[in-house]
């Protein structure tokens, strides 16, 4: 998690983080994903935005709650925050071993899922949205696109090649 107030340049050291927050107008924040959940957050009244990359490990580690904490420390109000999650592999397609599903759902019960063919799965987006709801974020929307099922979106799980989708958020 990092709070930023300027672009990272070629001479600056870019931190390895899964969430970034800013109050600077005109500074676009980006999140790159293929099958993980891109999370874009904004409190337009306070003038604070965040972008987070929530894969299975990040979701259970609390990357989205950490971004929300950073936003509220800067003056955001959860009830004013607008949250959007982009295309991701859905819980009907994200097959995992039973032990992994149990481990994930012990931390976030809303992530418990089953594939459309009846095997253990994880619904990371459902887990992220449950976290947002518990933290008081009311204005939430989830993309209906499953990256694994869509030929128009990158999916490492489907193609085994690297490609990325980008989500952006900024303050005018």
Domain holding 111, by residue range, is 16-169
Residue 7 counted as domain residue: no
Q: Kindly report, residue by residue over 75-99, the tens digit of the pLDDT.
A: 999 999 999 999 999 999 999 999 9
- Examine the pLDDT at 154 and tell me if it is beyond 80: yes
Residue 98 counted as domain residue: yes
- Examine the pLDDT at 125 and tell me if it is beyond 70: yes
Residue 43 counted as domain residue: yes
Residue 40 counted as domain residue: yes
Look at residue 11 in the predicted model and tell me its pLDDT.
63
C-alpha 112/C-alpha 105 separation (Å) is 5
- Examine the pLDDT at 9 and tell me if it is beyond 80: no
C-alpha 79/C-alpha 76 separation (Å) is 9
Q: Find the mean pLDDT for residues 44-68.
A: 97
Share of the chain above pLDDT 70, in %: 98
Look at residue 156 in the predicted model and tell me its pLDDT.
83
Paired tokens of 73: 């420390």
Residue 1 counted as domain residue: no
Paired tokens of 157: 């799980």
Q: What angle do CA 145, 150, 152 make, to 5 degrees?
A: 105
For 22, left (φ over 0), alpha (ψ -120 to 50), or beta?
beta
C-alpha 104/C-alpha 23 separation (Å) is 33
Average model confidence (pLDDT) for the chain? 94
Residue 2 counted as domain residue: no
The CA–CA distances, whole Å, from 126 to 3, 76, 108, 132, 165 equal 26, 23, 9, 10, 20
pLDDT range class, residue 104, cuts 50, 70, 90: very high
Domain containing residue 23: CATH number: 3.60.140.10
pLDDT range class, residue 160, cuts 50, 70, 90: confident
C-alpha 68/C-alpha 140 separation (Å) is 14
- Examine the pLDDT at 31 and tell me if it is beyond 90: yes
Q: How many domains does the chain divide into?
A: 1
Residue 87 counted as domain residue: yes
Residue 44 counted as domain residue: yes
């Amino acid at each position: 998690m990092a709070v930023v107030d300027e672009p990272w340049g070629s001479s600056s050291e870019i931190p390895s983080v899964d969430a970034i927050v800013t109050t600077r107008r005109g500074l676009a924040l980006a999140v790159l994903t293929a099958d993980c959940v891109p999370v874009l957050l904004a409190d337009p009244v306070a003038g604070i935005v965040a972008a987070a990359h929530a894969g299975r490990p990040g979701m259970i580690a609390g990357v989205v709650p950490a971004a929300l904490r950073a936003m509220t420390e800067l003056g955001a109000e959860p009830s004013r925050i607008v949250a959007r999650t982009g295309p991701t592999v859905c819980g009907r397609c994200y097959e995992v071993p039973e032990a992994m599903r149990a481990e994930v759902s012990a931390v976030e019960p809303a992530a418990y899922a089953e594939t459309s063919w009846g095997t253990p799965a994880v619904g990371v987006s459902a887990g992220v949205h449950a976290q947002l709801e518990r933290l008081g974020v009311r204005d939430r929307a989830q993309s209906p696109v499953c990256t694994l099922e869509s030929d128009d979106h990158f999916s490492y799980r489907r193609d085994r090649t690297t490609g990325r989708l980008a989500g952006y958020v900024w303050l005018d």
